[in-house]
Structure 1
């Protein structure tokens, strides 16, 4: 099961599933009831696509959306890639307005783990 952290991650999963079904963007758009341009933007990770349309897209593709906790992931898989400290969602969303060179700097900052305080 994929762990999605950004709208770009979700778009990639949707694109991979569409391609696995051998559908083009126009076919997916028709089945979902949206424009091909909407599919293009969603697959690229546009952060402000309508949630109901994303859920409809997942349903059309036969994908499920599951939720869980970071603690549950860490306890079920000791070698999990899930970071102990998640990036701030506002930083991720606001980062979409950056130039490409700024995205790299932001992504590098978000990927760093902060030192844990001793208890």
Structure 2
């Protein structure tokens, strides 16, 4: 058994697609209309057959409450692995990405937390 898909709830799928591809560097893999919304996934360009991130519409009332509570408490919804947190922090900052936590050493890992502009805090992390 292995993980195939994981999701983030987004306020606007088109805005999320632009952010996750143009800023974070993911690649669109699947885009299928499903009525009002789309089955929309992105993948890492380093592993195009790997785990897909679903840009899931935050249409269910519980998803909004969940996201709001996480952001209010400063808790990232998910974490993405990077080779160098400081380099990604600088690259993304130059693209206008807003961070709520700069690169911070936490034991054996360095993390930073960014705002995905779609209602989520996302952590980037690298083992030191």
Question: Which has the larger share of strand?
Answer: 2
TM-score, with structure 1 as normaliser: 0.22
Higher RCO (C-alpha 8 Å, min separation 6): 2
Question: Which has the larger share of helix?
Answer: 1
TM-score, with structure 2 as normaliser: 0.21
